[in-house]
Chain A
Amino acid sequence: MKGGARVERPRSGLRLRLAPSRLLEQTLPTIALLATLWPSLAWAHAERGRAEGFLAGLHHPVSGLDHVLAMVSVGLWGAQLGPPAVWLLPVTFPMVMAFGGMLGLMGVPLPGIESGIAVSGILLGLAVLTRWRPPLWAAAAVVGFFAVFHGHAHGSELPAGASGLLYSVGFVVATGTLHAVGIGIGLIHRWAWGRAALRLAGGLVACAGVYFLWRAVS
C-alpha cells in the first residue's frame, strides 16, 4: 500500500468476516432465546447420572468442574494459537478422549487418573497464561495425552445403561460444544484487554488445577 497507513492485522490467527462485536450482537440474542426455550422441565422424569440416552450423555461432561475447565481451556489455547491449532486441538481432544473412554469402558486400568486430570488443568491454564506457542505436533500431543485421562474417567464412571450409542452421541457433542465455547471466548484475543483477560482466565484455571491436584493427592 503506497503512502497509506500500515494496517495492523489482528494478532490472533482467527479471521472472521464479521467483526467480533457484530458477531456477538447477532448471535447473543439467538443464544439467549434458545436458552429460554431449553426444555429443562422436560427432564423431570429422567434419572440423572444413568446412561439412559442422549440427554444423560450431554449432561455428563459438564457435571465436573475439572473437566469443564480443561475442555474450555483447550478452546482458549487453540484460539490463542490460531489456525491450524484452533481446529486441530478441538479435533484431537474428543477423539483421544473417546479412546480413553473406550479403555475405561473396557476396564483397562490407568493409574493416576484424578492427578492427570488436575495436572491437565494446571498445564493448559499455564499455556493460556503464558501464551505458550510450542510446535503444532507438541500442542496436539499435550492435549491428546491429557484427553486420555479425562476420557478414561468418564468411561469408568458410566453406569450400565440401555442406550450406549445415544449416550455417546450426547457425550461427544457436549465435549465439542465446550471446546467451541472456549474458542468463542478466545475471540476476545483480538483486543489488548481481551488478551489480558484470557491470560487472567488461564491463571485462574491453573490455580483451580492446583486445587484439584491437592484434593486428588490428599
Chain B
Amino acid sequence: MSGRRLARSLALAGMVLLLPVPSHAHLVNSGLGPFYDGVSHLALTPEDLLPALALALLAGQRGSRAGRLALFALPGAWLAGGLLGLVLPTTHSGTVVATVSFLGLGGLVAAEARLRPGWVTALATVLGLLHGYPNGAAMGQAEVGALGLVGVVTALFTLVALAAALVVSIRAPWGRIAVRVAGSWIVAIGLLLLGWSFRTR
C-alpha cells in the first residue's frame, strides 16, 4: 500500500471514529447482554471449552476438509442441542459427558488418529448435541435464552476456525508434537475429573 493510500485510509478510519453516534456502552441499551453471557460462558466453562478445543485440534490434524466440516457441524449441532434444551429442560449436570469427551477426544488428538473427515464431522455433531443440550437447559433456567446460545455458538465457531486453521497450517514436526501433547494433557485432565467424580474423601 502506497503512503498516500495509507494516509487516506487512516484519515477515513479516523473520521468514522469521530462520528457522533451513541456508544451503547451499557448492554441494557443494546440488548446484547445475553449474547455476551453466552460468549463468556464458553470461555469460562472448561467442561465445554476443552472438548471443543480438542475437537478443533483433531479436525485440524485431519486436514482442511475435516476442519471446514467441523467448523459448521460443531456449532450447528450445539445450537440444535441447545434449542432442544430450551424446550425440554434437564437438570443433568453433564459431568459424565464432559469426562467422556475429555478422555475420548483428547486420546484421539494424542494418538493423532487417522480418522476420515466424515468421522470427524460425526464426532463434532455428537459432541455438539451432547454439550449443547445441557447448555440450552441451563440458559433457559438462567433466563438467558436463545440469544445466549447464539453467543455460545459464535464463540465456538471462532474457536474452531482459529484452532483448526492453526493446526492445519503447522508444518514443523515439533508443532504437530505440541498438538499431540495438548491432547495428552486433555486426557490427563479427564482422568483427574473422573477421580474427582468418584472422590471418596
Contacts and interface: CB of A to CB of B under 8 A. Distances in A.
Interface of A: 16-17, 87, 90-91, 94-95, 97-99, 101-107, 155, 160, 164-169, 171-173, 175-176
A102 B191 CA distance: 6
Given A91-B110, A98-B189, A169 B194 contact: no
A166 B46 contact: yes
A136 B201 CA distance: 38
A169 B194 CA distance: 13
Contact of A95 (B46, B177, B191, B195): B191
A155 B46 CA distance: 20
21 contacts: A16-B174, A95-B191, A98-B190, A101-B191, A101-B192, A102-B192, A102-B195, A105-B192, A105-B200, A107-B199, A107-B200, A160-B199, A164-B193, A164-B199, A165-B46, A165-B98, A165-B189, A169-B46, A169-B50, A172-B189, A176-B185
B167 interface: no
A102 B194 contact: yes
A202 to B, nearest CB: 23
Nearest to B196: A164
A96 to B, nearest CB: 9
Nearest to A161: B196
Contacts of A175: 188
Nearest to B44: A166
B181 interface: yes
B125 interface: no
Contacts of A155: 192, 195
A104 B195 contact: yes
B177 A87 contact: yes
Interface string B163-201: 000000000101001001100110111111111101111
B47 interface: yes
B110 A168 contact: no
Interface of B: 46-47, 50, 98, 110, 172, 174, 177, 180-181, 184-185, 187-196, 198-201
A26 to B, nearest CB: 16
A99 B188 CA distance: 7
A99 B191 CA distance: 6
Nearest to B200: A107
Contacts of B195: 98, 101-106, 155
Contact of B180 (A91, A97, A165, A173): A91
A38 B195 CA distance: 31
Contacts of A160: 199, 201
Nearest to B107: A95
Contact of B181 (A87, A107, A168): A87
B55 to A, nearest CB: 17
B185 A173 contact: yes
A173 to B, nearest CB: 7
Contacts of A87: 177, 180-181
A91 B196 CA distance: 22
Contacts of B185: 94, 172-173, 176
B187 A98 contact: yes
Among B172, B177, B195, B201, the one with the most A-chain Cβ atoms within 10 Å of its Cβ is: B195
